[in-house]
Structure 1
Amino acid sequence: MGFLDMLIDAARQVPSTADVLRAVHLLARRIGSAELEAWADRELSGYPDDGHVPSYRGPFHSEAHVRYRRVVGGIAPGLAPLPPTAFAEELRESKLMRVYEVSVVDPVDDLDDLVRVGAPLVRPWGGVQIDLINRLIDIGGLAVEPGHTIAAAETRLAGDRVAKVVDSVRSRVLGLALGLERVAPDAGDEDGPSTVTPAMHEVIAKTLV
């Protein structure tokens, strides 16, 4: 069985997406594709928080949940949804609504763990975001119960959306292996090609879109 056959089987059957990507990393090294190697590295280690992510990693619309601080009674127990409609109408098309957007920058190992237990991806809000929201409450830009401010908040991306990101990664690996099998069936083998041909590059480029 050749390397690409093993990679096809892994993409379809191996539970760990990280293990599948480590095989892609080895393939990239053997065929001399720095582009493919960099993609596998980013998927394994995660993307920069402020950098570009592939379209299959977002940004996605998500839900916001907040913990209120009450003038009387202190911090309220539990988290409550904060729908976009709570914001003044003139703010609903503003950049402020980016608090409802999530780009999935996490390593695939972390995503696999979330998928395994069916949990959402959670992004806590920073102090600057919370201060801004509380100022909006003060001036009437955000409707909350009288005497309430926000003590903490987080953005949640549903577990099924996280699962789709992982599926997209695995589908790209499968497409890569099947595509290379057509144009360079011995790619990845120890005695296979050590440089990327134009046909191989075309397959790789489609994988990374």
Structure 2
Amino acid sequence: MGLLVEIQRDAISDTTPASTLLRKCLVLAHNLDSNLLEDWVRHELNGYPKDVEVPDYRRIPMHFKANLTNLVYTVTNQPVPQALVAKAAGDSDIGTFKCRQAIATISEDKIKDSDTLVVNFDNYALVLERKGIFDSSYNVSQFWGEVPSPSVLGIVDAVRNRVLEFALALSKKYPNAGEVGGITMKEPSVEKTVNQIFNTTINGNAGVVGNADNATVNITVNQGNFGDLRQQLMRQGIGEDDIKELEAAITSEPQIGADKKYGPKVGQWVGKMLGKAASGAWNVGLQAGGVILEKALLGYYGLS
């Protein structure tokens, strides 16, 4: 039985732990020489570091609550609208729980389906008071976010589904993928195809190859939110090193004019990425790459 067939069987088996499935994917990544697959598998197995953006399926909306008190009354479990918290904190992404745990810690024997997971936000309590979110006669004694445990447990199924889709798509194109002496990413045509399959199945994005116009690229980036920008660019197959280079450029050029003309550093980065698209180093067509970068960057700058 080949490695791809083993992975497919483990992906549909409820008795095979997700961590075991991912270890086989790590072997597959090694045999393919695929850095994209290897990085994703290692993050799922070991947890996502703070400097790595988590995938969409690990981003879970939170509901905020607070305990309030004054000299006379105590109010417990007071719901706090997410929009008000985001405005007071100056962080549009604060209402999203980014689950960075290793996948082995996400299981029903560790997290009960009926549980509500609590994220402590007491350090924001004073900020909310000063912004007038609550009646001024009350003090915030506790402030927290709640995450439904079924949403966290759903991460395991999301990983299984993605692995299955990847293995099925890969075996259809390269039946001997993962076997010793089989295909390798050292062949440019194979690298391009495998990366496209990865971005389609693991990142949950079909990507854009060849020609494209604004109507065929669906990218949403909130103004000034580099986390959004990072996530969207990663979904389009742009690597971490290129994204870090862009972040440094944007830090020095945080705004652009109404004429939508980028600063010299950001413009240089865009030119570099279009060169990669033209050469095939970035797995999109030249026109599609231009549309992707335009939508993502103009969204970040608030000019989309």
Range class of TM-score, shorter chain: 0.7 to 0.9
Matched with 1:178 is 168
Q: Does 1:66 align with 2:56?
A: no
**Corresponding letter in the other structure for 1:11:** A
Secondary structure, counterpart of 2:107 in structure 1: helix
Out of 127, 134, 140, the position equivalent to 1:143 is 134
CA distance in 2: counterparts of 1:182 and 1:85, whole angstroms? 44
Matched with 2:292 is none
Matched with 1:120 is 116
Secondary structure, counterpart of 2:125 in structure 1: helix
Trace 1:1-209 onto structure 2 (pairs within 5 A): 1-13=1-13, 14-49=15-50, 51-58=52-59, 60-71=60-71, 80-84=77-81, 87=84, 95=90, 98-113=93-108, 117-118=112-113, 119-127=115-123, 129-136=124-131, 141-144=132-135, 147-195=137-185, 197=190, 198-209=192-203
Unaligned runs of 5+ in 2: 204-304
CA distance in 1: counterparts of 2:23 and 2:152, whole angstroms? 20
Q: Which moved more, 1:19-28 or 1:197-206?
A: 197-206
Quickly say closer, same or farther: Cα 1:32–1:38, change in 2 above 3 A.
same
**Corresponding letter in the other structure for 2:121:** W
Q: Which moved more, 1:17-26 or 1:3-12?
A: 17-26
CA distance in 2: counterparts of 1:180 and 1:50, whole angstroms? 30
**CA distances 1:153-203 after superposition (whole Å, capped 9, x unpaired):** 221221222233322211110011101111111222234334361333321
- Say whether the 8 Å CA contact 1:114–1:121 is kept in structure 2: no
- Say whether the 8 Å CA contact 2:166–2:201 is kept in structure 1: yes
CA distance in 2: counterparts of 1:38 and 1:85, whole angstroms? 33
Aligned length: 197
**Corresponding letter in the other structure for 1:37:** E
- Say whether the 8 Å CA contact 2:26–2:41 is kept in structure 1: yes
**Corresponding letter in the other structure for 2:116:** P
Quickly say closer, same or farther: Cα 1:202–1:94, change in 2 above 3 A.
same
Identity of aligned residues (%): 23
Unaligned runs of 5+ in 1: none
**Corresponding letter in the other structure for 2:20:** D
CA distance in 1: counterparts of 2:111 and 2:38, whole angstroms? 26
CA distance in 1: counterparts of 2:110 and 2:91, whole angstroms? 29
Quickly say closer, same or farther: Cα 1:184–1:86, change in 2 above 3 A.
closer
How far off its partner does 1:47 sit?
1.9
- Say whether the 8 Å CA contact 1:12–1:174 is kept in structure 2: yes
Secondary structure, counterpart of 1:47 in structure 2: coil
- Say whether the 8 Å CA contact 1:87–1:143 is kept in structure 2: no
How far off its partner does 1:9 sit?
0.9
How far off its partner does 1:2 sit?
0.9
CA distance in 2: counterparts of 1:108 and 1:179, whole angstroms? 23
Quickly say closer, same or farther: Cα 1:30–1:56, change in 2 above 3 A.
same
CA distance in 2: counterparts of 1:50 and 1:69, whole angstroms? 37
How far off its partner does 1:52 sit?
1.8
How far off its partner does 1:98 sit?
4.2
CA distance in 1: counterparts of 2:83 and 2:47, whole angstroms? 33
Query: So what's the TM-score if we normalise by structure 2?
Result: 0.55
